[in-house]
A and B are shown apart, each in its own frame.
Chain A
Amino acid sequence: SAVISQKPSRDICQRGTSLTIQCQVDSQVTMMFWYRQQPGQSLTLIATANQGSEATYESGFVIDKFPISRPNLTFSTLTVSNMSPEDSSIYLCSYGTSVYNEQFFGPGTRLTVL
């Protein structure tokens, strides 16, 4: 499987600011996804990052709050905008393979908003 990395691994941010998280895969992949894991909770899909078009957002998530870029088949970014303490979570990116739709995840970005 391809190696997937995220930057930053963690950050502490002030309320009202924005943070952009980067996700890099070491080979071209068609499907990339962004998830949020709130403290003590399981993973929730934020959006599917589509190369060359706008991301597809899940119910409860909007582009103004979580803008996503996908400039090519190996890279995506997620921005958490106008942050509040409720945005404190682990954010994970993943990619999907065409082999049985298996997904592989990055190491995550632990975000704390003060």
Chain B
Amino acid sequence: KQEVTQIPAALSVPEGENLVLNCSFTDSAIYNLQWFRQDPGKGLTSLLLIQSSQREQTSGRLNASLDKSSGRSTLYIAASQPGDSATYLCAAGAGSYQLTFGKGTKLSVIP
């Protein structure tokens, strides 16, 4: 059974800092890896999807990497802004659309 872990559970950084969020998964036989953002009490916004054959994906100030062999993915946020404050979730996808989520990292960017 796939298990996804995100460390740290919470992170507070000053505005402008670059940061890395970590995600690890136990079963390397994944189909894809998705990163989401969740604002308090809200739904999920898809940020990046990495196919199992890819190593990284970039969107604006976000860069996600995937290392299947070590069961790890990272989300890099450059030049953080207060608007980036949210909970970031990673989810390991199986071929059947099944997603296994981590518990998330709650990010606070301090002005």
Contacts and interface: CB of A to CB of B under 8 A. Distances in A.
Interface of A: 1, 6, 31, 33, 40-45, 48, 90, 92, 94, 96, 100-108, 110
Contacts of A110: 41
Contacts of A40: 103
Given A42-B89, A100-B49, A107 B42 contact: yes
B100 to A, nearest CB: 9
B80 to A, nearest CB: 23
Given A42-B103, A106-B43, A108-B43, A101 B95 contact: yes
10 contacts: A6-B43, A43-B101, A48-B97, A100-B49, A101-B31, A101-B93, A101-B97, A102-B34, A102-B49, A103-B46
B99 A100 contact: no
Given A43-B89, A103-B97, 13 more contacts: A1-B46, A43-B99, A92-B43, A96-B97, A100-B32, A100-B49, A101-B31, A101-B95, A102-B34, A103-B34, A103-B93, A105-B43, A108-B42
Interface string B69-111: 0000000000000000000010101010111011110000000
Interface residues of B, number: 24
Contacts of A92: 43-44
B98 to A, nearest CB: 7
A11 to B, nearest CB: 13
Interface of B: prevailing SS = strand
Interface of A: prevailing SS = strand
Contacts of B97: 31, 33, 48, 96, 101, 103
Interface string B44-62: 1110010100000000000
B43 A102 contact: no
